[in-house]
Amino acid sequence: MNPLTTHLWLQYFMISKRRVESLGRFLTALLRHTPEAANLDMDKQGWVSVSQLVNNTQNNDKPTCLEEIKEVVERDDKDRFGLKVENDETYIRCKQGHNGRLGLELKFDTPAPPETLFHGYPSHIEAEILEKGLVAMDRSHVHLSKDIETALSVAKRHGEPMYMVVHSGRMVRDGLSLYLSDNNVWLADSVPPEYLARP
């Protein structure tokens, strides 16, 4: 789009909060779990071409153009998406949370973590967590939170929310790896039960 067309599009079609949320959910599902549903060519870092995404998902309730996708990325309150431009092509990806079956090789920063992090979970799986620790299940990593409120808000989507304290500092001192995603989510390959404690 030329600058005038883009300006008119944004002025006329400034998308609603509801559409931002709807497209955010759609993009998250597609980019984290099912890129093949739209025949997307995803590289090992999780990037896909925005033009391919738009072309392959054309219908009334899917992204219509680059400008709409940029607005969703900018207004996403969970900071789930990244954009980059390479050789005049714009690419998008989710910053973390991908399904392990995609076999991605995402690169993350590895700064020293806080001494403790938190993991939210529904109450009905507590015994299993205490026995087996935290495992990634169908995701590529276990997600850890910097604060209790965030951990509980994640857990409440799946049942009565509870949280575990994760002794992240001790994990790293013992040689286990923790990563920090581009949107500041702490990630672990797994968390053995000896690094977990009830509050």
Q: What is the pLDDT of residue 184?
A: 87
Q: What is the pLDDT of residue 31?
A: 96
pLDDT at 23 over 60: yes
The domain of 74 spans 3-95
Q: Which residue has the tokens 């600058």?
A: 3
86 with 163, same domain: the answer is: no
More confident residue, 4 or 22: 22
143 with 174, same domain: the answer is: yes
134 with 191, same domain: the answer is: yes
62-117 tens-digit pLDDT? 878 889 999 999 999 888 999 999 999 999 999 988 888 888 887 877 888 999 99
Q: What is the pLDDT of residue 157?
A: 84
122 with 44, same domain: the answer is: no
129-177 tens-digit pLDDT? 999 999 988 888 999 999 999 999 989 988 899 999 999 999 999 999 9
126 with 181, same domain: the answer is: yes
Q: What is the pLDDT of residue 13?
A: 57
84 with 127, same domain: the answer is: no
The number of domains in the chain is 2
Q: What is the pLDDT of residue 108?
A: 77
* Residue 51 pLDDT grade (very low, low, confident, very high; cuts 50, 70, 90): very high
Q: What is the pLDDT of residue 65?
A: 87
121 with 193, same domain: the answer is: yes
